[in-house]
Amino acid sequence: MSAAENVDLSRLRIQHEENLEERPRRAHRTGIILYAAGAMFLALVAFVFIRTSLGSAESVELATVSFVSPSQSNEILTASGYIVAQQKAAVASKATGRIVFLGHHEGDNVRKGDIIARIESADVEAALAQAQAELALARADREDAQRSLERSQAMLSRELISQAEFDAAKARSDRVRATIQSKEAAVRAAGVQVENTRIRAPFDGTILTKNADVGEVVAPFAAGASSRVAVVTIADMSSLEVEADVSESNIERIAVEQPCEIALDAYPDKRYRGTVDKIVPTADRAKATVLTKIRFLERDSRVLPEMSAKVHFLAKGSSGSASSKPRLVVDSTAIVVRDGRKVAFSLRGDEASAVRVELGDPIGRFSEILSGLSAGDRVRR
């Protein structure tokens, strides 16, 4: 046997099998990298395209059509507040009992002394009748005692009776007189108890709320959980004022009798003339404000208690223009001329459309709108 035949072939290893398995893995990873790079490139291109498109969009400024007053040129400060009745009362009963009559309801106007409600009064009326009967009996005794005293006086002058008998007749007359005074006081007290069952209006005003109804028990201090205190709440509508909080830093710009213009949030198209009635001489520590009360110089039935309002303080010496009607205006830059006509581009959703407008007198940088637009419309400037 030759030397070549003596070689041990069992030690040989086939290395190319491992290489064949490694190559597919490397190719797979390379494909993933190329795919990710392509995706990132496409995303970058899309981002640049979108950013370029958005960046080229035109920036649009909008103006809002609103009401303004010609007096705004004299305005020096604005504050918010609420309408409050300066004369207001929760009318309650002085006696405890069940309501048997309720003659007025919310919105009714009452005069001072009018009976608003009555509570059950059979017991106090019986006590009054008893006191009146006792008074009548005492007055009958007074007549008898007075006649006895006169007879005793005549008999004493003729010495037909002794001085002691006359003194006894006089003492009886004095006791009857004192008894009458006591009975008259008892009648007055019983009458007061009867009157306490009648709930009357303390002043001329309007009923704002009704807090109890027929059949409910009322008590002066609500002794029970089921009893009521106030039957109605009444206010003098002529005493309505706006109570507004003015910042401490601006209070020096406000003075008593300073002209104002009052705008109710419920009726933005109406302005009311007013004047500063009182500046409360104390500040609110928590809010750093001073309470200011503004009196109405003109008012209508639409002005109600607890309505929110804005007060426009005007410079002293302002003309009566505060009473003029607010005008519908828009920024003058929103009006353009197209084909010889004045138009404004009104925004409806995402689209702007040309609207022909008719203009009135200019008010500062605003133009008065007579037709074509409404309050709250947004237009392009």
Question: What are the tens digits of pLDDT across the range 204-246?
Answer: 999 999 988 999 988 876 554 556 788 999 999 999 999 999 9
pLDDT at 51: 57
Confirm whether pTM is higher than 0.75.
Answer: no
Share of the chain above pLDDT 70, in %: 78
Question: What are the tens digits of pLDDT across the range 25-50?
Answer: 555 566 566 666 666 666 666 665 55
Q: How far apart are CA 44 and CA 37, in angstroms?
A: 11
Instruction: Return the higher-pLDDT residue of 51 and 84.
Output: 84
Tell me which long-range contacts 317-322 makes (C-beta under 8 A, separation of at least 24): 318/71, 318/74, 318/259, 319/71, 320/273, 321/69, 321/70, 321/71, 321/74, 322/69, 322/71, 322/259, 322/260, 322/261, 322/271, 322/273
pLDDT at 47: 62
pLDDT exceeds 60 at position 157: yes
pLDDT at 358: 87
pLDDT exceeds 90 at position 71: no
Range(s) within the chain of domains with CATH label 2.40.30.170: 71-87+238-323
- The domain defined by 89-119+198-235 folds into OB fold (Dihydrolipoamide Acetyltransferase, E2P) (2.40.50)
Share of the chain above pLDDT 90, in %: 41
pLDDT at 52: 55
pLDDT exceeds 50 at position 2: no
CATH of 71-87+238-323, one of 3.20.20.100, 3.40.50.720, 2.40.30.170, 3.40.50.2300: 2.40.30.170
pLDDT at 131: 93
pLDDT exceeds 80 at position 322: no
Q: Domain 121-196 in CATH: superfamily?
A: Helix hairpin bin (1.10.287.470)
Range(s) within the chain of domains with CATH label 1.10.287.470: 121-196
Nearest to 304 by CA among 347, 264, 249: 264
Range(s) within the chain of domains with CATH label 2.40.50.100: 89-119+198-235
Instruction: Return the higher-pLDDT residue of 326 and 339.
Output: 339
| Arch. (CATH architecture) of 327-380 | Beta Barrel (2.40)
pLDDT at 30: 61
pLDDT exceeds 60 at position 57: no
Cα 117 to Cα 159, 198, 203, 370, distances in angstroms = 65, 6, 15, 53
pLDDT at 31: 58
pLDDT at 365: 74
| 317 pLDDT tier (thresholds 50, 70, 90) | low
Range(s) within the chain of domains with CATH label 2.40.420.20: 327-380
pLDDT exceeds 90 at position 101: yes
Q: Which residues of 325-362 are buried (b: 16+ CB within 10 A; e: fewer)?
A: ebbbbbbeebbeeeeeeebbbbeeeeebeeeebebeee
Q: How far apart are CA 250 and CA 173, in angstroms?
A: 77
